[in-house]
């Protein structure tokens, strides 16, 4: 059995979930661990000097719990899939590749997680598209007025520069391109890697 850990990072509303869901549907024996599911309770997320809740930092996330999930997959991907109600497909020969798709806006900023990736993709879109997409999304709690300009975008720039100082092996993807175009490029790249792991190329 072989494993492949794929990171789908990027700016908020860049298209991470869309890409990850597509990959999961297309790649056998794959599953997703999403960083969004690990936000701490609103009551413990502190407020900054401008009165904005500090959601866009690693401190707002239960990274310890997220790592436990990833380690649990690594220990036994077959059981992990079963526990999630997915049906693992075994091949007759023992070269099945299990693929973990980890998606989230700060996945490459957390060193212990960043170290585990075999492939890193990062979706980027410009400021105005990001602001527009974000304005039609409702988070819990919802963004207060001025949150994007006063907090989210400045934090994106900060987190991105921190990420770039930590790792250079990132494939940047243009999230302005039609979804199908983005999806097919990444899918083909991963298929090539799976073939390589299986000794087929
Ligand atoms: N390539 C794309 N072109 C146009 N809209 C997109 C594209 N990818 C995603 N979207 C849209 O942008 C919004 C955010 O996408 P989503 O995948 O949830 O982003 P993220 O997980 O990065 O926050 C959704 O409405 C989605 O349909
Ligand atoms: O999911 C939540 O509990 C949640 C609560 C408040 C805010 N968020 C926002 O979620 C954003 C990251 O998710 P995403 O999918 O937009 O990349 C980040 O910019 C946060 O500001 C998310």
Task: Please spell the DSSP secondary structure of 164-185, one letter per residue.
Answer: HHH----EEEETTS-HHHHHHH
Residue 133 has pLDDT above 80, yes or no: yes
Please report which confidence band the pLDDT of residue 67 belongs to, taking 50, 70 and 90 as the band edges.
very high
Q: Quick one: which of 10, 58, 15, 23 has its CA closest to 193? A: 23
Q: Which residue has the tokens 């960083």?
A: 35
Task: Provide the CATH number for the domain around residue 94.
Answer: 3.40.50.300
High-pLDDT (> 90) share of the chain, %: 92
Range of the domain at 145: 2-197
What is the H or E stretch that residue 22 is in? Answer: helix 16-26
Instruction: Evaluate whether ipTM surpasses 0.90.
Output: yes
Total domain count, the chain: 1
Q: Are 103 and 57 in contact (CB under 8 A)?
A: no
Is any ligand 1 atom within 6 A of the Cβ of residue 104?
no
Give CA torsion, residues 50, 56, 61, 67, to 10 deg. -160
Ligand 2 atom with least separation from CA of 14 = 17
Instruction: Give the number of the ligand closest to the Cα of residue 37.
Output: 2
Beta bridge partners of 121: 8, 171
Q: Which pLDDT score is estimated for 201?
A: 73
Instruction: Give the number of the ligand closest to the Cα of residue 123.
Output: 1
Q: Which pLDDT score is estimated for 94?
A: 74
> Is the Cα torsion angle 179, 183, 186, 189 positive or negative in sign?
negative
112-135: average pLDDT: 98
């Amino acid at each position: 059995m072989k494993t492949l850990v794929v990171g789908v990072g990027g700016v908020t509303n860049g298209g991470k979930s869309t890409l990850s869901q597509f990959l999961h549907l297309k790649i056998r024996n794959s599953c997703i661990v999403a960083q969004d599911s690990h936000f701490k309770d609103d009551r413990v997320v502190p407020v900054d000097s401008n009165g904005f809740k500090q959601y866009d930092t690693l401190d707002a996330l239960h990274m310890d719990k997220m790592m436990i999930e990833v380690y649990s997959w690594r220990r036994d991907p077959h059981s992990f899939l079963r526990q999630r109600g997915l049906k693992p497909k075994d091949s007759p020969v023992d070269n099945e590749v299990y693929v973990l798709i980890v998606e989230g806006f700060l996945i490459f900023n957390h060193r212990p997680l960043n170290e585990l990736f075999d492939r890193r993709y990062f979706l980027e879109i410009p400021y105005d598209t990001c602001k527009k997409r974000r304005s039609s999304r409702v988070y819990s709690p919802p963004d207060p007025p001025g949150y994007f300009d006063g907090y989210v975008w400045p934090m994106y720039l900060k987190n991105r520069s921190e990420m770039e100082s930590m790792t250079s092996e990132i494939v940047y993807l243009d999230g302005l391109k039609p979804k199908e175009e983005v999806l097919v490029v990444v899918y083909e790249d991963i298929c090539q890697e799976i073939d390589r792991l299986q000794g087929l190329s």
